[in-house]
Amino acid sequence: MTMQTDNRYQKDFIVSWGEIHRDARALAWRLLDKSPWKGVIAITRGGLVPAAIVSRELEVRLVDTICVTTYDEQSQGEPEILKRFDGDGEGYLLIDDLVDTGATAKIVKEMVPKAHFATVYAKPAGRPLVDTFITEVSQDTWIRFPWDMELGYSQPIAIR
């Protein structure tokens, strides 16, 4: 049984807490030689966990947020900016868990055009908007993050 109803997503990519921690640390390694950073800007809500890990690994104490809502687990909607960042982002690291279609990325890059945009995961449609990422997944894959899941029975792949 799959939760999404959008036909664009044919595959699930399940990420555990251990995997997101490992991948966010790998992102920090890639960003280390580009530091020092003035601060980290997390794109909420998905970017909060990776931003916390990256900021810890890079010894960055100033963490802020940009709050944008563009979709939920069911569908993509009209973007809504809930909180902005004051400034152009120069010297800041902008962190999100994922770039998918690029809708959120376009909005935040307009807000903070001088920030370095880094994501843990990237899909082809949004990848050109990201400066640094760790893992690319296909556009037809729904990434299931540990903060969005509960433990339960998993059907074999052949039955889905």
Work out whether strand 116-122 and strand 132-136 pair parallel, antiparallel, or are unpaired.
parallel
Task: Residue 141: name the closest of 2, 7, 19, 9 by CA.
Answer: 9
* 148 annotated active-site: no
What is the SS3 assignment for 94? strand
- Residue 109: CB atoms within 10 A of its CB come to 18
Distance (Å, whole) CA 133 – CA 113: 17
* 100 annotated active-site: yes
The catalytic residue among 64, 100, 131, 140 is 100
Take residue 122 and report the two structure tokens written for it. Answer: 């990237």
* 12 annotated active-site: no
The catalytic residue among 97, 131, 140, 148 is 97
The catalytic residue among 96, 131, 140, 148 is 96
Q: Which residues are catalytic?
A: 96-97, 100
